[in-house]
Copies of this chain bind each other. A is one copy, B any other.
Amino acid sequence: METIKVGIVGLGRLGKVHGENLAYNIPNCELYAACSPVEEELKFAKEKLGVTNVYTEYSEMVEDKDIQAIFIVSPSGLHCEQIRIAMEHGKHVFSEKPIGLDITEIERTVAVIYSYPKQVFMLGFMRRYDESYQYAKTMLEEGAIGELTVIRSYGIDPKEGLESFVKFAGASNSGGLFADMSIHDIDLIRWFSNQEVKRVWAIGKNTAYPELDALGELETGAAMLQLTDKTIGILVAGRNCYHGYHVETELIGTKGMLRIAQIPEKNLVTIMNEQGIVRPCSQNFPERFKQAFINEEKEFIRCILAGEQPEVNANDGLQSTKVAIACQKSFEENEIMDILY
C-alpha cells in the first residue's frame, strides 16, 4: 500500500505528540517534513523524529511537491490561513482545534475547504476517536439509554497549567476558557445529540487567583445550553484540577444514564492506604487521549488512501467555535446569548 508523506507545522507540546505518532505509530505514513519558527522544535524533529526536511517558513514547506498532507498544530490564530494555503496547494489537511478564532474568517476558510472536495480535511476532535466515547456513542445509537434529554460535559485542566497561566498572564490570548477548554465538550454535545445549540448562558468564578478577573480569564466557568430540540447541555470548564485531567461526559436519556470517565481512572490499579481507597487519575491530555490521537491519525491516513472524507469536518469546526464564542460573550455580559443559523 502507498505511504503518505506528511509535513507537520508546529511542534509544541501537542505537536510533539502528533509528530511522534506520525513518525512511529501510524502505518502507511511517513513524517517527511516539519516546520516551526522555534529552533528547538526543528532540532527535535531531526533528532527524535528522523525528519530530514525542516522549514522555518510554512510558505516554503507547502511548496514541496512530495508532501501530500499537512498536519497543522500551530497556534490557533494561524489555523485558518494555514488551512487555506495548504488546500490551495492541493494538500490533504489535518488541523488541530479550533478551526479558527474569528467567525467570519472561519466561514471563509470553510468555503475554501469545501471547494476542494477531493482533498481530505479533518479537524482534531480526537475525543470522538477515544474508545470509551465511541462505545458510548454506539450504546446511545443502539437505544441503551433511550432518547437524550441532558448532556453534561466537563473539561478541567490540571492546576499546573493554571499556575503557569497566571505567571505568564497576558502573554498569550487563550480565546477565553470556553474556546480554549469547552470546545471539545461543545463538539461532543453536537456529536451525541445531532443537534445545534440555540441559546446559552455562561457564568464563572475566580477564587484561587482573583487576579484573573483583570485579564478577563476564568479559573472555573459553566454554561447551560439549550439545543434545537430542547435537549439540555451543561458545560463545566476549569484550569485548576488537583486530581489531574478531568474530562467527563454524561448522557441522560429517557431510559438510562451513561457516563464516560465519571472518574478519570489512570489505569486498572486501586490502592488502599491511609487515605482510603484510591484510584490514581490521568494527569494530562496526552496521557488520557494517547490512543485517541493515534486513532484519529490513522483515520486521517485511511481517508486519504480510501478517497473518503472523515466524520469530523469543517462545519463541525465552524459550529463549535460559534457556540464557544457565544459562551464567552454571555459570560462577559452575564446575559443569555442566542445563536443564529
Q: Which residues of A contact B (CB under 8 A)?
A: 24-25, 27, 131-132, 135-136, 139, 144-150, 152, 199, 201, 203-208, 219-224, 226, 229-232, 234, 236, 238, 240-244, 246, 252, 254-281, 334-336
Determine the distance from Cα of A280 to Cα of B267 in the docked complex, in whole angstroms. Answer: 15
Q: Is the CB of A278 within 8 A of B281?
A: no
Contacts of A270 in B (CB 8 A): 258-259, 262-263
Q: Are A230 and B252 in touch, CB under 8 angstroms?
A: no
Would A242 and B256 be within 8 Å (CB), given that A27-B24, A267-B131, A268-B261 are in contact?
yes
16 CB contacts below 8 A, A to B, read A132-B267, A146-B207, A150-B220, A203-B230, A205-B231, A220-B252, A221-B232, A222-B234, A242-B273, A243-B273, A243-B277, A246-B257, A258-B271, A259-B270, A275-B278, A276-B280
- Whether A335 and B334, one on each chain, are in contact in the complex, defined by CB atoms closer than 8 angstroms, is no
Q: Contact: B203 with A226, CB < 8 Å?
A: yes
Q: How far is the CB of A254 from chain B (nearest CB, A)?
A: 4
**CA A268 – CA B236 in complex, angstroms?**
19
Task: Determine how close the nearest CB of chain B comes to the CB of A139; give it in whole angstroms.
Answer: 7
Partner of A242, one of B149, B244, B272: B272
**Distance between Cα atoms of A131 and B90 in the complex (Å):** 41
Are B222 and A224 in contact (CB-based, < 8 A)? yes
Residues of B within 8 A of A224 (CB): 201, 203, 222-224, 234
A168 and B24 alpha carbons, distance in the complex (Å): 43
Instruction: Give every chain B residue within 8 A of A203 (Cβ-Cβ).
Output: 224, 226, 230, 232
Contact B258 A272 (CB under 8 A): yes
How many copies the complex holds: the figure is 4
CB-based nearest B residue for A257: B272
Q: Are B139 and A269 interface neighbours, CB within 8 A?
A: yes
Nearest CB in chain B: distance from A303 CB, A: 18
Q: Is the CB of B236 within 8 A of A150?
A: yes
Residues from chain B with Cβ under 8 Å of A258 in the complex: 269-272
- Cβ of A265 and Cβ of B277 under 8 Å apart? yes
Please state if A230 and B204 are interface contacts (CB–CB under 8 Å).
yes
Report yes or no: A274 in contact with B243, Cβ–Cβ below 8 A: yes
Contact of A232 among B131, B204, B265 (CB under 8 A): B204
Contact A145 B271 (CB under 8 A): yes
The complex places the Cα of A275 from the Cα of B281 at a distance, in Å, of: 9
A30 CB, min distance to chain B CBs, angstroms: 13
Q: Which of B24, B256, B264, B274 contacts A273 (CB 8 A)?
A: B256
* Contact assessment for B252 and A277 in the assembled complex, using a CB-CB cutoff below 8 Å: no
Contact in complex: B273, A269 (CB < 8 Å)? no
Q: Are A256 and B272 in contact (CB under 8 A)?
A: yes
Separation of A201 and B336 alpha carbons in the complex (Å): 9
Contact in complex: B135, A334 (CB < 8 Å) = no
Question: Given A150-B236, A240-B254, are A271 and B205 neighbors across the interface (CB < 8 Å)?
Answer: no
Q: Which 5 pairs show the lowest CB-CB distances between chains A and B?
A: A256-B273, A132-B268, A208-B254, A257-B272, A243-B272
Query: Do B256 and A238 touch (CB < 8 A)?
Result: no
Q: How far is the CA of A203 from the CA of B201 in the complex (A)?
A: 11
Could you tell me the distance between the alpha carbons of A264 and B269 in the complex, rounded to whole angstroms?
A: 10
A336 to chain B minimum Cβ distance, whole angstroms, is 6
In Å, the complex CA distance between A269 and B251 comes to: 11
Q: Is A278 within 8 A of B276, CB to CB?
A: yes
